[in-house]
């Protein structure tokens, strides 16, 4: 059976390469074997993503992140002790993406022309899958690393296309997950600058992922450009601040946004506790993602606002993923899962890539 083309809207590839020291050009099993005796991180030996595995799953286009959090004094979260250090880490991550381009492993997609060219390449059956570069749209997850607003211009010049204001904990531009409160003054100023870029080649997509409830509403009110939620599940099913409430989902639908489903078990099932629970014992399966999609579809009245934003290997591996997922290539299992749940071919095409591609064409036209 021909595998459907997949767009995954959230992968921390460069973080894995630089901070986890994973050579993502290698087969996934080789990466796991090399980490077999390592204990510095809880997901060692449990990775699910590599560039060959993306090709195996026909995941030809991803949103790939730069991610470096600033850690203020007194914070227990991992991060960098100055914005300058955080910026330097994002530049190391950018350098890795550039190296992958030089070797033909990846290619940056910045505009509609590049998007069309890349999709044509992946649809060319005369080219072996192993020879096809994985396309990536560059996103900044959390704006902490922007030392000041002038750095945004530099980032846009090297091809940044999407930005989230926050991550976990306190942020220089906005508080994030497990926090409350509005955007900071710097965050308000950042959105003002982003508004000035609307309609230009440097227009940015605002990613509302990780914002507080107050920050979410404020950001949508302030920003006039395209908005998406790259990796979010549904609060009605997993009632934590990290997930989207029904009201937030309605607001995103009104903005014609797309919401990417994330595969971290604690975002799928309230029973799951990090580093304690076992996905197999709790029977957390891929199909539970469809419960979250169903909920959004019921609110929207269609399947036009959902897709993949897996966040796989986003500081977790198989120990914190659905038990029937061994690698990111298993996203292809959703073809049968969705059919069995009553989704037709047009719905499945929307979810696998159609919704994200339509969003990008509209944002970049």
Q: What is the pLDDT of residue 305?
A: 98
Residue 85 covered by a domain? yes
CATH number of the domain enclosing 28: 3.20.20.140
Three-class SS of residue 11? strand
Give the count of domains, the chain.
1
Determine whether 200 is exposed, middle or buried from the number of CB atoms within 10 Å of its CB (0-12, 13-18, 19+).
Answer: exposed
274 falls in which pLDDT band (50, 70, 90)? confident
Residue 1 covered by a domain? no
Residue 66 covered by a domain? yes
75 falls in which pLDDT band (50, 70, 90)? confident
Q: What is the pLDDT of residue 2?
A: 85
Percent of the chain with pLDDT over 70: 100
Mean pLDDT, to the nearest integer, of 298-326?
Answer: 98
Structural domain boundaries enclosing 99? 6-364
Please say if the pLDDT value at position 76 is more than 90.
Answer: no
Q: What's the CA gap between 223 and 150, in Å, rounded?
A: 19
Instruction: Name every residue whose Cβ is closer than 8 Å to that of residue 179 and which is 6 or more positions away in sequence.
Output: 169, 170, 212
Mean of per-residue pLDDT scores for the chain:
97
CA distances (Å), 74 to each of 70, 77, 132, 141, in order?
12, 9, 46, 22
In DSSP notation, 249-281 reads: HHHHHHTT--EEE---HHHH-TT--TTT--TTT
Mean pLDDT, to the nearest integer, of 69-96?
Answer: 95
Residue 164 covered by a domain? yes
Determine whether 238 is exposed, middle or buried from the number of CB atoms within 10 Å of its CB (0-12, 13-18, 19+).
Answer: buried
Mean pLDDT, to the nearest integer, of 109-128?
Answer: 97
Show the DSSP H helices in the chain as ranges: 13-18, 28-34, 51-56, 83-102, 112-123, 150-157, 185-196, 213-222, 246-254, 265-268, 287-300, 334-340, 345-349, 355-364
H or E element at residue 207: strand 205-207
Mean pLDDT, to the nearest integer, of 17-37?
Answer: 97
Mean pLDDT, to the nearest integer, of 113-117?
Answer: 98
Mean pLDDT, to the nearest integer, of 207-223?
Answer: 98
pLDDT tens digit string along 239-250? Answer: 999 999 999 999
Please say if the pLDDT value at position 151 is more than 90.
Answer: yes
Q: What is the pLDDT of residue 298?
A: 98
Q: What is the pLDDT of residue 1?
A: 62
């Amino acid at each position: 059976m021909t595998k459907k083309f997949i767009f995954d809207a959230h992968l921390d590839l460069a973080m894995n390469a630089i901070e986890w020291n994973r050579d993502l050009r290698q087969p996934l099993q080789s990466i796991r074997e090399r980490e077999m005796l390592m204990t510095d991180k809880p997901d060692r030996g449990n990775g699910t993503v590599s560039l060959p595995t993306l090709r195996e799953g026909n995941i030809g286009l991803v949103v790939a992140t730069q991610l470096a959090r600033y850690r203020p004094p007194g914070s227990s979260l991992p991060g960098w002790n100055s914005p300058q250090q955080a910026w330097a880490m994002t530049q190391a991550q950018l350098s890795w993406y550039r190296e992958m381009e030089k070797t033909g492993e990846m290619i940056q997609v910045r505009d509609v022309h590049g998007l069309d060219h890349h999709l044509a390449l992946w649809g060319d059956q005369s080219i072996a899958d192993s020879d096809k570069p994985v396309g990536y749209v560059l996103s900044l997850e959390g704006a902490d690393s922007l030392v000041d607003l002038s750095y945004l211009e530099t980032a846009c010049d090297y091809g940044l296309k999407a930005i989230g204001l926050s991550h976990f904990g306190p942020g220089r531009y906005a508080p994030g997950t497990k926090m409350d409160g509005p955007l900071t003054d710097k965050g308000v100023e950042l959105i003002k600058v982003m508004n000035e870029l609307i309609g230009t080649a440097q227009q940015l997509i605002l990613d509302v992922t990780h914002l507080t409830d107050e920050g979410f509403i404020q950001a949508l009110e302030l920003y006039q450009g395209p908005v998406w939620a790259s990796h979010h599940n549904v609060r009605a099913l997993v009632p934590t601040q990290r997930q989207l409430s029904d009201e937030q989902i309605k607001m995103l639908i009104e903005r014609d946004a797309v919401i990417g489903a994330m595969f971290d078990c604690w975002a799928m099932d309230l029973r799951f506790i990090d580093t304690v629970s076992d996905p197999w014992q709790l029977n957390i399966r891929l199909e539970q993602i469809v419960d979250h999609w169903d909920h959004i579809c019921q609110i929207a009245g269609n399947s036009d606002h959902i897709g993949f934003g897996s966040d796989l290997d986003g500081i977790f591996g198989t120990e914190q993923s659905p038990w029937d997922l061994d690698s990111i290539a298993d996203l292809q299992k959703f073809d049968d899962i969705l059919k069995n749940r009553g989704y037709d071919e047009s719905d499945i095409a929307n979810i696998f890539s159609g919704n994200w591609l339509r969003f990008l064409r509209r944002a970049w036209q």
